[in-house]
């Protein structure tokens, strides 16, 4: 990075307490980024603040190469001049920063509510480190307030859903499982459906 910067003055300033917490978490994660790193970029409302701050640092001379976990994150990063590459070209990443839908005191979490869960997991698995950023509204005593998203291939998704329901029932879970979007199913960037499991 080149010289002192006022990059924090150039990023969008949130207007609510929750959004301020999200940005604070994202800015703290940015402190872990070093010149020359290969980064995974998460998806969602908190990860957007990280990408925004990263873009400001790139404008000041930070050199990184990143793998986005969704088309929305790709578009945001490209608009900010962040260098992107396919994971196949990089093989391993130094760090991935992503958000969570909910987390408990033991730091277990549910991710993927934004529909990028398969890519998020692939990128996280290819990373030496992962930082999960979240605001206080995501903290729960017990996981499950947010449905567990399960991404499935479109081919024979009904049979896959039945197998998932059987597996859940075998563990004593009798909660509902619904195709996201119902009659007009949500399609992930990878061309899959998502079943939300209560």
Q: Is the pLDDT of residue 3 over 50?
A: no
Strand ranges for 50-156 from DSSP E: 65-68, 93-98, 102-103, 109-110, 127-132, 148-152
Tell me which residue of 136, 110, 102 sits closest to 22, measured CA to CA.
136
Give the pLDDT mean for 144-167. 94
Give the pLDDT mean for 138-167. 93
Which residues are the active-site residues? 120
H or E segment to which residue 38 belongs: strand 38-41
Q: Is the pLDDT of residue 173 over 90?
A: no
Which sequence spans correspond to the domains of the chain?
7-138, 148-197
* pLDDT score for 166: 93
CATH topology of domain 7-138: Rossmann fold (3.40.50)
Plot region of 144 (φ>0 → left; ψ -120 to 50 → alpha; else → beta): left
Q: What percent of the chain has pLDDT over 90?
A: 80
What's the mean per-residue pLDDT of the chain? 92
């Amino acid at each position: 990075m080149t010289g002192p910067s006022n990059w924090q003055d150039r990023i969008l300033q949130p207007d609510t307490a929750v959004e301020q917490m999200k940005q604070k978490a994202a800015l703290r994660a940015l402190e872990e980024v070093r010149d020359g790193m290969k980064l995974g970029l998460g998806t969602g409302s908190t990860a957007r603040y990280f990408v925004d701050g990263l873009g400001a640092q790139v404008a000041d001379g930070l050199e990184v190469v990143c793998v986005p976990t969704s088309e929305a994150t790709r578009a945001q990063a490209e608009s900010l001049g962040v260098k992107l590459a396919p994971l196949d070209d990089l093989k391993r990443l130094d760090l991935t920063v992503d958000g969570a839908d909910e987390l408990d005191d033991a730091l277990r979490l549910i991710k993927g509510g934004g529909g990028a869960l398969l890519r998020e997991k692939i990128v996280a698995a290819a990373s030496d480190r992962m930082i999960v950023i979240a605001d206080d509204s995501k903290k729960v005593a017990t996981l499950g307030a947010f449905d567990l998203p399960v991404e499935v291939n479109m081919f024979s998704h009904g049979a896959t859903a039945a197998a998932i329901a059987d597996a859940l029932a075998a563990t004593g879970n009798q909660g509902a499982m619904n195709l996201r979007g119902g009659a007009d199913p949500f399609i992930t960037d990878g061309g899959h459906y998502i079943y939300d499991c209560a």
